[in-house]
Amino acid sequence: MSAQPFARIVWIVLDSVGIGQLPDAADYGDVGRDTLGHIARSRPLCLPNLVRLGLANIKPLAHLDPPAHPAGAFGKGITVSPGKDTTTGHWEMAGIWLDQAFPVYKNGFPRDLMEKFGRAIGRKTIGNKPASGTEIIKELGEEHQRTGFPIVYTSGDSVFQIAAHEGTVPIAELYKMCEIARKLLDGPHRVGRVIARPFTGTPGNYRRTERRHDYAVEPPRPMLLDVLADAKIPVFGVGKIHDIYNGRGVADYVTTKNNADGMAKLTDSLARRPRGLIFANLVDFDMLYGHRKDVEGFARSLEEFDALLGPFLAALRDSDLLLITADHGCDPDPVNPTTDHSREYVPILCYSPRMQTGCGAGANLGIRSTLADMGQTVAENFSTAPLLHGSSFLPLLP
């Protein structure tokens, strides 16, 4: 273990910010996909804080010069579990390996399943195809309001999403539909998440609201948040962390409107939560830019995060450890027509103010053989029971 355990760990997942294809990328149709690499090649990026921590030391990135002595420890992680979605990545970080990938539906859900769902909710449905959430409500929102039929759609992720206008289907009823879907979607149709996608507005001016709610598959035990709870280590979730883990081990949480709101709530949590794990997911990279093939938007979002990261780093204490990573890739490079997630390495950056004088500054963590190494590091720091998978890199930190 490091010389002294950290009293608080802040773990930020940059949703979809992968850093180059994994060795098995061909099995997923992802040869050549490289989220950070392609964005960096698109134009010069202004990422002084991430570069200072060691982002450009992980692998060469166009227009970004790696410092000779980065302020943080750096490396990259391999996803062992099959799949390339949010649930798979986050579960593996918490020490859970999947035997098989969660199912995806590139042609929509089977007819018999949709008929069963329609009977259970007492309504027909429309949609039933992979789509962008904003595009499908633009396409079908008016028909939905006229008929009252909820919009069902999926994506490259293992999700069953239900969109409904809050003035047409009350939010409580939408949530009930999702609960029904979650019970139906089992066995071979056990998708990673059922997601309520409420929206408001008028045709041509629809807007998704912040009352999204995810209904995840129950994670198996033991997983990181369970062992932290057993050891009375408080966990505070920011963004969709609570939903991804079905609330297990998350003592308190807040939802977020966007990345900037997530960083504001992370900053506020530093003053209110002096110990334990603060665990956040920042979703804009994935939701707004990766799936929409928006390279420039993705680049601006990375720069926005980096600008907010500067004052956040200054607010950390010597007893804090910051861990920045991703759950998978979502390369927006227009050369590849797919809008799906991509099977990529994830970056790993670690920083503590005490690294400035300690041995951990500039440490190369190398290629970690599983994302569970991060969870095992957190578990070792807080002296909990070990996870089933993963090797801690805590001894490499000061």
HEC profile of 276-308: EEEEEEECHHHHHHHCCCCHHHHHHHHHHHHHH
Whether the upstream peptide bond of residue 398 has omega within 30° of 0, thus cis, is: no
Residues 290/294/296/299 CA torsion (nearest 10 deg): -10
- Reading the block at residue 63, the tokens are 């227009």
The single-letter DSSP state of residue 195 is E
Ranges of residues in the chain with a pLDDT under 70 are 1-3, 357-360
* pLDDT for res 3: 58
* pLDDT for res 398: 80
* pLDDT for res 156: 78
> In the chain, which segments carry CATH 3.30.70.1250?
111-216
Q: What are phi and psi of 132, to 5 degrees?
A: -75, 135
Residues 103/32/60/43 CA torsion (nearest 10 deg): -100
Q: What share of the chain is helix, strand, coil (3-state, %, to 5)?
A: 35, 20, 45
The Cα angle at residue 111 between residues 105 and 117, in degrees rounded to 5: 95
Type of residue numbered 294: D
Tokens 């959430």 correspond to 133
> In the chain, which segments carry CATH 3.40.720.10?
8-100+218-396
CATH number, domain 111-216: 3.30.70.1250
Return the CATH superfamily for domain 8-100+218-396: Alkaline Phosphatase, subunit A (3.40.720.10)
Global pTM reads 0.92
Grouping H, G, I as helix, E, B as strand and the rest as coil, residue 139 is helix
- Distances, alpha carbon 69 to alpha carbons 58, 59, 63, 288, in Å: 13, 15, 18, 34
* pLDDT for res 2: 54
Where helices occur in the chain by DSSP H, the ranges are 35-42, 48-53, 55-58, 86-93, 111-121, 133-147, 171-184, 224-230, 241-244, 259-272, 284, 295-314, 372-381
Q: How far apart are CA 64 and CA 40, in angstroms?
A: 8
* pLDDT for res 343: 97
